[in-house]
Copies of this chain bind each other. A is one copy, B any other.
Amino acid sequence: MLNRIILIGRLTQDPELRYTPSGTPVAHFTLAVDRPRLNQMGERETDFINIVVWQKLGELCAQYLRKGRLAAVEGRLQIRSYENREGQRVRVAEVVADNVRFLDRAGDREGGPSAPPASGSGWPEEARTRSTGMDDPFEGDATRIDISEDDLPF
């Protein structure tokens, strides 16, 4: 009846952008969120939380977020349940985001296969307000992989 979660953390990898057979974009990434206090051994613990972002906001995440970057994510916690190849019931927790904020410009740790395009310099503070002047900003950047309709949120 009410389900709201807000996280701030850093991406463990670059976002992965896919498309449903009907062409709906969806981005996946994992956020590393440090726990507020140390555990019994005095170690810092971290929760690695899977994030799913649909539609244009997902494309913006794929375009602007990179491994190591700090982001705020707002959405709802969803428990997806399916059977694996061994017939076991597996439950997957993920946050379906409807709001994502890009919180730093990161240390420009670029390089490697998933670095931002050299021509791309902009790093908008707010993904959502950016809604103009994009023809096909992801061409050549995101990998196009089809995913199952079962992952559709609507």
* Chain B minimum-CB-distance residue to A93: B93
Q: Contact residue range for chain A?
A: 35 or more
Number of chain copies forming the complex: 4
A8 at the interface (CB under 8 A from B): yes
Which of A57-65, A97-105, A140-148 sits within the interface?
A: A97-105
Which of A11-19, A71-79, A111-119 sits within the interface?
A: A71-79
Say whether A8 contacts B72, CB under 8 Å. yes
**List of B residues within 8 angstroms of A149 by Cβ:** 40
Chain A contact residues, CB within 8 Å of chain B: 1-9, 33-37, 39-40, 47-49, 70, 72, 74, 76-79, 91, 93, 95, 99, 101, 103-104, 125-126, 128-129, 149, 152, 154
